Amino acid sequence: MIDASLVFVIIRPFMNRNPHVAVVGATGAVGIEMIKTLEKRDFPVGKLTLLASARSAGKKLKFRGTDITVKELTKDSFNGIDIALFSAGGSISKEFAPIAAKTGCVVVDNSSAFRMDDAVPLVVPEINAADVKWHKGIIANPNCTTAITLIALYPLHRAFGVKRIFASSYQAVSGTGAKAIEELKRQVGEIVAGKPVTKEVYPHQIAFNVLPQVDSFLPTGYTKEEMKMENEGRKIMHHPAFRASVTCVRVPVYRSHSIAVSAEFEKPVSVEAARAVLKKAPGLDLVDEPENNKYPMPLFTSEKYNCEVGRIRKDCALDNGLCFWVSGDQLLKGAALNAVQIAEELLK
C-alpha cells in the first residue's frame, strides 16, 4: 500500500509542456519499447533520463538519434524529473516509486506492486482515462493479458453489460523477458540439431510445447496471473460484479498475447451488433473474415499499437453469450504503449 505521507502529492500541472522523463528499467525489453514509443509517438520529452541497475549503468541507448548513457538507479535519481515510467519489477517499484512521488514526480508503474491499491488509479486510457486525475503520485499499468482482453471486452460491456467471462490465454515468451526469448531460440536449435534440450527459465521445455502455467499457483488452484483478469478488470471497468474464470497458457511464440473469450452479457447480443460496436472501438482493429482465413494472429499484431479482434460468434453454451478472439502486442499495449498513453493523459 502507498504510505499515507504520499497523500499530499496531488497531480500537478506541467507548466513545462516538455517534461523531463525518466525510464526506470531502461535496458529491459519493456524499457526499450518505452524509449521507442516515446520517440514514435513524438512525446514532447524535454529531457530523457535512463535508469537501470548498477550492472547496466554506462550502457548507451539511442533516443532521437542521440546516444544517452544509462545511469544507476538510486534514491537521488528523481530530483527534477516530471514523469517516471517504471518497468523494473515489483520490488524495485515498491522501493523507489514512493521516493520518486515524494519529489513531485508522477510515476507510471508497469509492475503489479500498486495495481490493487485503492489509492492508486489502474488505467487503460481507452477505458478509464479520467481516473488519471485522482492520482496521488503513482498510476498503475495493468497486467498485459488483462489490458489486451479489455480493449475488446469493454466496448461490448458498455453496449451489452458483461456479467462474466470464461477465457484462455496464449501468452508469448517475451512476457517473461529477454532470457525466455533466448531459451525458446536455443531449444528450437537444440531440437533441430538432435541435441538434449536445456532448461533455465521455464520448468519444462517451451519449444514445440505449451505450459498451462503463467505465474505462481494460489491455494485455489488458479495462478496469480489468472486472477488478475477478474481483480484488475473490476477496477478498470468500474464493474465490481465482473467475474472471470481464466486459464493462462505460455506458448512458443516470441511476441504478442492472444486470448479466447466466452462472455455472457445482461442484454441480448448478436454477432452483427457486436461487430458494429467493435469496429468503432479505440485501439482495436476488427479482423473477422473467417471465410477468407482472416483473423487476429500474433504474427500480425507484433510491433503494432492496435490490438485485433475476430472469430466473433454466438456462444452456444451461454445465455446472451458471445465468443471472440483477441490478439495484441503485450510489450506495447500490454506495457510500454499503455504507459506512454497514460503520460500523454497527464499532459492534457
CB neighbours of residue 102 within 10 Å: 15
State the distance between the two ends of the chain, measured CA to CA, in whole angstroms. Answer: 28
Q: What is the 3-state secondary structure (H, E, C) of 300-321?
A: HHCCCCCEEEEEEEECCCCCCE
For the stretch 7-10, contacts whose Cβ atoms lie closer than 8 Å and that sit 24 or more positions apart, written own/partner, are: 7/119, 7/136, 9/101, 9/102, 9/104, 9/136, 9/137, 10/136
CB-based burial label for 273 (10 Å; 0-12, 13-18, 19+): middle
Residue 267 three-state SS: coil
- Beta pairing partners, 243: 164
Residue 324 three-state SS: strand
Catalytic sites, residue numbers? 144, 257
Residue where the block lists cell 498475447: 257
Residue type, 323: C
